[in-house]
Copies of this chain bind each other. A is one copy, B any other.
Amino acid sequence: MESEHRSGCPINLSLEVLGDSWSLIVIRDIMFGDRRHYRQLLNESEEGIASNILSDRLKRLTAHGLVTKQSDPAHKQRQLYSLTEQSIQLVPVLVQLGAWGRKFLPASPELSIRARILDEGGPELWADFMDELRVMHLGAEPRASAESVFEKLEKAYQEAVAAGRSS
């Protein structure tokens, strides 16, 4: 009856779900890149994920309840992937991972901007961002917000790209 978990340690259990090279990359792309379709995730992937791996990960993430899939009624073959509350709550994990990578690994300046803003913004900013994700993915009611965190991150990224090109 008991599961085949390696142990009941919460860190271990998280790693059993997320402990591979691609799962968090897919979630990152859906979350920060707003890529909601298979081809988008495949072709706009910064790291060049293979189609079978993407397919497998989307299945796994769906099975674990981190992603949901719904078909667009207008475009029948078009599938829309959405985050769930579980994966939205991975924001702090991704922020900390990004902060660590930014500090110790050769991260490119443009791609580090988002990590920096989220790191410096602290838990309040994460919470705002998570609320926006709930609106975008779970259909939650939008709450009045001075400036969308998502847009703020996107804008900063675009500025960094432009600055990188001109310099």
Q: Is the CB of B89 within 8 A of A103?
A: yes
Known: A3-B106, A5-B106, A89-B104. A97 touches B16 (CB 8 A): no
Q: Is the CB of A101 within 8 A of B11?
A: yes
Query: Is the CB of A117 closer than 8 A to any CB of chain B?
Result: no
The interface bits of chain A over 81-114 (1 if a CB of B lies within 8 angstroms of the residue's CB, else 0) are 0000010011011101111111111111011100
A28, closest chain B residue (CB): B11
Q: Is the CB of B11 within 8 A of A105?
A: no
Nearest Cβ on chain B to A78's Cβ, whole angstroms: 27
- Interfacial residues, chain A to chain B (CB-CB below 8 A): 3, 5-22, 24-25, 28, 46-48, 86, 89-90, 92-94, 96-108, 110-112, 115
